[in-house]
Structure 1
Amino acid sequence: MPYENKQDLPVAVKNNLPSHAQDIFKEAFNSAWDEYKDKEDRRGNDSREEVAFKVAWAAVKEKYHKNADDKWVKK
């Protein structure tokens, strides 16, 4: 299910990612949700939601990383 706003994001995302990273996650998740709606567009047996989560986290990791204090910070 796509997310309409950042308040709808999972608690683990809201409690750990900075605001901008949450925006990236939401947009990437929603885009992947649309792009991979058909099972034949996905690799393996991952569900639509699993693929969207993988895409969203990959997008976040393009711009952010965890620092020594285990906090997500901009690269």
Structure 2
Amino acid sequence: MSYVSNEKLPERIRRNLPVRAQTIFRKSFNNAEKQYKNLNKRRGKATLEEVSNKIAWSAIKKKYKKFNDKWVIKTIF
């Protein structure tokens, strides 16, 4: 299930992530969905949605961190 816009993301994503992070999530999810559509490219018995979600959250965690229950951009020191 590809997401054509941030407005189509699940409410839990829209409610918890800043707009830029939503875009990262959406693009990462959609790319993973294309890349891992073939069952042979996935590990174990994970569904396409599970794999795509894991990859999307991994992309978020590279640039954002959770601070006081909010996702904030990581700063470079």
Q: What range is the shorter-chain TM-score in?
A: over 0.9
After TM superposition, the score normalised by the length of structure 1 is 0.97
User: Offset at 1:23?
Assistant: 0.4
Name stretches of at least 5 consecutive residues in structure 2 with no aligned partner. none
1:73 corresponds to: 72
Aligned length: 74
Deviations 1:30-70 (A, max 9, x none): 00000000100000100011100000000000000001x11
1:51 corresponds to: 51
User: Offset at 1:16?
Assistant: 0.2
Question: What aligned pairs does 1:1-75 form with structure 2 within 5 A after superposition?
Answer: 1-67=1-67, 69-75=68-74
Aligned-residue CA RMSD (Å): 0.4
Percent of aligned positions with the same letter in both sequences? 47
**Partners of 2:10 and 2:22 in 1: CA distance:** 10
